[in-house]
Structure 1
Amino acid sequence: MDATALKKVALFEGLTQGQLAKVASIARPRSYPRGTFLFREGESGQEMFIVAGGKVRISKNVPGIGEEALGVLEEGQYFGEMSVITDNPRSADAIAHTECTVWVIQRDLLDQLMFTDKELAYVLLWTFVRTLSDRLRESNDRLKLFFATSRF
């Protein structure tokens, strides 16, 4: 992966050119045809993804309702990062919404990189915190809307 392309990804905006090059060196491309699962809810995860081209749908299967799309991610957006910072199973499905290419970063390689570059680790971990906080806020807003529109 090209370090210049990484600079456009929100997760890596605060990194120096040298740090971007280090992250780029551990990212590997992977392509998926439309409709293919990148991962499923409940699976263990050891990698995170950055959309390089195409679109990826993040969704949950709701019993009695079916698939509930949580979002469709496009080029430059990232997902699966919770598996990089926790050992919890995947919290949703990731499906190739269109034919897509993603950059994959393995947890163990990122761990090694963050261990050897504490400044990089600091920037990434704070960005992860902000991302998770934003996603929690979005989930709370969806829950409020659900209850506001539901009839009991």
Structure 2
Amino acid sequence: MDASLLKKVALFEGLTQGQLAKVASIAQVRQYEGSSFIFREGDTGQEMYVIVEGRVRISKNVPGIGEEALAILEKGQYFGEMAVIDDSPRSADAIAHTPCTLWVVERAKLDQLMFTDKDLAYVLLWTFVRTLSERLRETSDKIKAFFAISRF
């Protein structure tokens, strides 16, 4: 893995070159064809993903409506990080929107790395908190908009 590519990923931008090299050493490369599922809502998750090439669609299947895309993620973005924080099932589907190459980081390997490098753990955990906070705010705004529309 090329650690310099990780520096462009928001999750890892606060890490030193040495810490980036440590993260790169535990990542695995995985490729997906377009329209293939990376994971499905309800699956048990033990990995998070960084997009190296391609695009990934995060979506939910809404009864009576079908697939509702929540986000289209691009190169340099990450997803599935909730699986490395808690043991809850996946909250949405992740689908290769185009053929893509991903770096996969297993929870157990990241846990071990954070256990041995407390400074790295501090940076990553605060970034996770900010990311989850932003997503919660976006979801709240979407819910407000939905209720505003539904009143008409």
The CA distance in 2 between the partners of 1:142 and 1:150, in whole Å, is 12
Corresponding position of 2:17:
17
Unaligned stretches of 5+ residues in structure 1 = none
Q: Which amino acid aligns with 1:131?
A: T
Among all aligned residue pairs of Structure 1 and Structure 2, give the percentage whose two residues are the same amino acid. 75
For 1:59 and 1:136, the matched residues in 2 are separated by 16
- Post-superposition Cα deviations, 1:97-140, rounded to whole Å, max 9, x if no partner, equal 00111000000000000000000000000000000000000101
Q: Which runs of 5+ in 2 are unaligned?
A: none
Q: Which residue of 2 aligns with 1:40?
A: 40
Give, as a single letter, the amino acid of the residue that structure 2 aligns with 1:23: V
- The normalised TM-score by structure 1 is 0.98
Q: What is the alpha-carbon root mean square deviation over aligned residues?
A: 0.8
Alignment of 1:1-152 (within 5 A): 1-151=1-151
The one-letter amino acid paired with 1:132 is: L
Deviations 1:27-82 (A, max 9, x none): 11100001100000000000000000000000011111111100000000000000
- Cα drift, residue 151 of structure 1: 4.0
Q: Which amino acid aligns with 2:86?
A: T
The TM-score, its normalising length taken from structure 2, stands at 0.98
